[in-house]
Structure formats: C-alpha cells, structure tokens
Structure 1
C-alpha cells in the first residue's frame, strides 16, 4: 500500500471523485503542513493556520499508480488559480501535492514541467497531517441532498465520469 496527499480546493470534492476510483483503499480528509497542532475546521477557515485542506489517499500500487493519481488530480481541479478553487478562496484551498518520498516528488515535478507555464501547484514535502472532524469524512455520500453536494460536487462527478 502507498499513500498520497493532494490539496485541490475543498476536500469534499476531491474525496468524492477519488472514492470512485479502482485501487483506492482508504481516503481521509484532513489538514496538513500548517503552523498549529490539531487544527479544527473553524481554525482552518480563518486562514491563519497555514494548513491546506487535503485528502490522504491510501492506494494499492498494483492496481493504480501514483502517476495515474496525479493525472486524475490535475484533471479534477484548476491548478492555475492561486489559493482558489471556484468560490472557495484562501491558502487552505491551494493546489498542492505533499510528497512523502523522492519518487513522488520527482513524478509530480516532471508532470508539472510538461504542463502549462501557468501551473501554481506547490510540490512540498509532507510535514504533518491531521484528520478532519468526522463529519467531513465521506461527506458527499453522507450528504447527497445538501445544496453544496448537488450544486458543486455532483456536477464535478458527472463531468469527470462522463469522459
């Protein structure tokens, strides 16, 4: 089993797509690489902790590669907007890949180098990870009828999986 950490805006959207990918074993929404210990969602929303909203992805490397995860990651969010995805604004919504080894770092950098010059995605070593509160886990599946899920997450799922 391998692990990847991606920040591509609101973790609910990122989680909802990766939940439907073959080879994913477990997902955990959370916060990483900030300057406070055990942050809460309220702390993160203030935009002063330095943490990013991330999804920790545990995957079976024999069924899906880190490179394929990178392909999906870059397809499901806008890597050219600094600290913003749609209406979500702030450093907690930055585009970032938090690597855990040199191989992940090199693969991420190589992929970015093949893309547009406008990419603002950070490639940073994972320093710390804190799981988000329970109500953030499996958010879309547990809240299908909520407006955010219907207006933002459902269209992203439909767009990605209709290709």
Structure 2
C-alpha cells in the first residue's frame, strides 16, 4: 500500500466528500478549508467570502488501487469547472473550482488534463479551475464530516449530492468501493 494525498475544491465539500468516499482505493476523505488568509477559519467566516478559503476535501488514496489521474477524471466529471465561484445554487469564492497540488507531478497532471479538456471543447466554456500549490488545510467542523453518510435523506443531499453520486456510478462503476 502506497498512500498519497490529493486536495480538491469544487463546490460544497459535502458533494466532493460523498463522491470520493465511494471510490475504491480512497482510504479517507476530510472536508476542510484551504487557500485563504485566516488561520483556523470557521464555517461562518468562510461563508462570508472574505477569508479567501475554498471548501475542499483532502483525500488519502492508495496508489496501488487508484491513481491521481483517475481522481482528476472523477473531479472533472462531477462538478462544473467552467463557472467561477459557483456550483449550481452555491455561489461565492468558497465554492470555486481548485486543485491544490502536493507535488510537481500532481501539478503537471492537473495542467495536462485541463489543457486536454479545453482543447476537446467538452464543456460549453473554458475551464476556470485554479491549479495552486497546497496551502494549509484546516479541517472543517465535525458536523461537516461524513455529512452525506449521516444525512442521506436531507433535502440538499437528495437534490444536489445524490445526482452527483448517480453520475459517478454511471461513469466510474468499475471504480466504486
């Protein structure tokens, strides 16, 4: 087992958390905040849009079971990387599309896939996903962790997260845990 980490932001962290938890080879997923100027921000602070943080998930994954490229493919399949500071009804810089790379290999792979997706015109607009070095990631409050697993019938989970999981099952069935 070779464990590495990856950090993604693409809308509400509840969505990303539920999707990545469903993948074989992803050992853990933690929701948090990254990319801002305030140490140890709270959810309420991040929601103001003034801290500069994005809602992110930090994954630990087993490279013997799933590779970083596959994680990128999933990331770009389950969110809209063409909308700046928004995912559906979730609006604000905390919902931006961002990849925080842990090393040069992750940066290169992220840049390559973004270039490929833009060249292929698979989206109706150019991708706005930021690729930036990993800053400090602050864990989100406990009540944000494992949100979908704890509240699968909650309205937001049914309306927003469940369709992303259905998309994951459709496109990545062979990768599910």
Contact 2:7 2:100 in 1 (8 A): yes
* Superposition TM-score, scaled by structure 1 size: 0.97
Aligned to 1:112: 114
C-alpha distance in 1, partners of 2:146/2:68?
22
For residues 100-139 of structure 1, what are the structure 2 equivalents within 5 Å?
Answer: 100-116=102-118, 118-139=126-147
Name the residue aligned to 1:14. 16
Structure 2, gaps ≥5 residues long: 120-125, 172-177
Q: 1:45 aligns with which of 24, 47, 51?
A: 47
Runs of 5+ consecutive residues of structure 1 not aligned to the other structure: none
Q: Alignment RMSD, CA only?
A: 0.9
Choose from 72, 75, 85 the match for 2:74.
Answer: 72
Q: Residues 100 and 133 of structure 2 are in contact (CA less than 8 Å); yes or no, is this contact kept in structure 1?
A: yes
Give the aligned partner of residue 7 of structure 2: 5
Aligned match of 1:142: 150
Compute the displacement of 1:162 (Å).
2.7
With the length of structure 2 as denominator, give the TM-score of the two structures.
0.90
Q: Which runs of 4+ in 1 moved over 3 A?
A: none
CA displacement, residues 95-120 of structure 1 (integer Å, 9 cap, x when unaligned): 00000111100110011111126010
Aligned length: 163
